[in-house]
Amino acid sequence: MSDQAKKMAQQREAALKAAQRLPHMPWDGAQGPDLHNASDALKELEREQVEEISETGWRPRIEHDLIAVDEQGVPLSTVHRSVDLNTAEEYGELSKQAIAVINKHFASTECSEIHMNSPDQIFAKYQGERVKVNCAFSSEEEYNLFIEDMVRQANTNKTWEDIKREARGVVRLQGGDRMMIFTPPLTETVHVAIHKVVARSWELQDLVENGTMNSSMANLLVAAVKSHANILVAGEMGAGKSVILSLLAQYIGPNERLALIEEVPEIFINNLPDVTPITYYPDGSAAGLQQVLDTTLYGRYDRIIIGEIHDLGMYRMLRVMATGGDGSMSTFHAGDARSALEQVRNHVLLEYPQLPPATVAHFVRQAINLVVVVENIDGQHRIKQIAEVEWRTLSSEAETMGLNELFVWDRNGQQSADGKPGFVSISRPDDNGKLVEKAERYGIKFDPTWFPSDNMMLR
């Protein structure tokens, strides 16, 4: 085992020992489930992850200790930092035990999601594997009280009453974790999905080491960000779009002023001093994305980042990118680069049906410079495609989207020199395209060694 793996194992073992200091109650078959099974399952998962570091998905940097503990060394989650389980009279002993076990999973940097479907249906997700947490609340009332407490402590202007009235809601917990809630009558019981932000201490190099991309792809993306290229990060649900965008944002200049616009808080930016987080409301209860973007244009921001662009506001986003918002980035739901661009075009046409399709297509080609497509297959996150948006060879009357594929993930090894699955360089950026034009403006060079393919489509 390498020194790095040993260090990771030691850190995980320390976390488990701290978690084991949580109070336990003796259980028998009649009283309820054996809570220690969850700890055993976690230990087994931890052991497997130490031995299979190179084959797992994204991992945090091991130098950072992300586990907060109280005076007794008990891990504190982002959920219940202010609740003393020993004195909380609202909860029965069974519920206290459930909360303690849930906190174990919050304390683990390897746990990425926690799902609660009912008082006795609770799950945690580790490296793509969902495991049932063997615990249960004393009653549905105390289960709902626990969720209400989470909302009360969250960084949100929504109240529990607001969420119950709307029967749904999304809030950001302390520490940045995102919690989605459905309540009756939409569901039979209150359902909660918590997406933990476990990537705050990661760097792009971590994604190279675990196979999300190779070093040439990472160098290209860093150069594109420093060149102020407009980047669309696409992928299906849960692919890791927000993580990729968050890590790319680390390479934005420290003196740049940034607007971070989201409906649901997902993107984290830790290293920039001048960031304005802005929330938009598509339901009309406050300013929507269109209004927010219109106002942002007067804020003298160097870049604008939009989390999960939707139908209304697509035209405004493209206008920002095409008229002075160089270096802007956004995430978008799509399975490949061509589909992403076509959907962007179609969203604009739905918003402004009077516009000619060819005009909209030309507008899209002018605004977006690079499309990065992410996938998640069996817990392994991977960049499956990086494509430059090709506009030079298409006339302004063309309704199609031109793409210059730079890198792809060759799943079957058909394009790889050794016939094995891997990342393949297909082409290099067009010397007369916008990507190179912007790079030259900022003194950035695309190293030819990043693109080792003999199949150079554009020279």
- What pLDDT was estimated at residue 275? 85
- What pLDDT was estimated at residue 204? 86
Under 8 Å between Cβ of 387 and 234: no
- What pLDDT was estimated at residue 232? 96
pLDDT tens digit sequence for 240-288: 898 899 899 989 988 999 989 887 777 878 777 888 888 777 666 667 7
Mean predicted confidence (pLDDT) in 422-440: 90
What is the H or E stretch that residue 68 is in? Answer: strand 68-69
The first and second tokens of residue 357, run together, are 């399709």
- What pLDDT was estimated at residue 88? 60
pLDDT band of residue 440 (cuts 50, 70, 90) is: very high
Model-level pTM?
A: 0.70
pLDDT tens digit sequence for 334-382: 999 999 999 999 999 998 999 998 889 988 988 999 999 999 887 788 9
- What pLDDT was estimated at residue 293? 84
Q: Give the C-alpha distances (Å, rounded to integers) separating 216 from 213, 220, 326, 413.
A: 8, 6, 23, 18
pLDDT tens digit sequence for 173-188: 766 678 889 999 999 9
pLDDT band of residue 416 (cuts 50, 70, 90) is: low
- Distance (Å, whole) CA 316 – CA 291: 9
Which of the pair, 346 or 108, is modelled with greater confidence? 346
Residue whose structure tokens are 């990472």 = 218
* Averaged pLDDT score across all residues of the chain: 76
Lowest-confidence segment of 268-277, 436-445, 448-457 by average pLDDT: 448-457
The first and second tokens of residue 343, run together, are 């959907």
- Distance (Å, whole) CA 267 – CA 246: 6
pLDDT of 134 above 60: yes
Q: Which domains does the chain have, with CATH numbers?
A: 3-195 (3.30.450.90), 204-450 (3.40.50.300)
Please list the residues that pair with 233 across neighbouring strands.
331, 372
- What pLDDT was estimated at residue 78? 41
Which of the pair, 106 or 121, is modelled with greater confidence? 121
Give the residue ranges of DSSP H helices in 326-395: 337-351, 357-367
Mean predicted confidence (pLDDT) in 380-392: 88
pLDDT tens digit sequence for 207-251: 898 889 999 999 999 999 999 999 999 998 878 898 899 899 989
- Distance (Å, whole) CA 180 – CA 164: 13
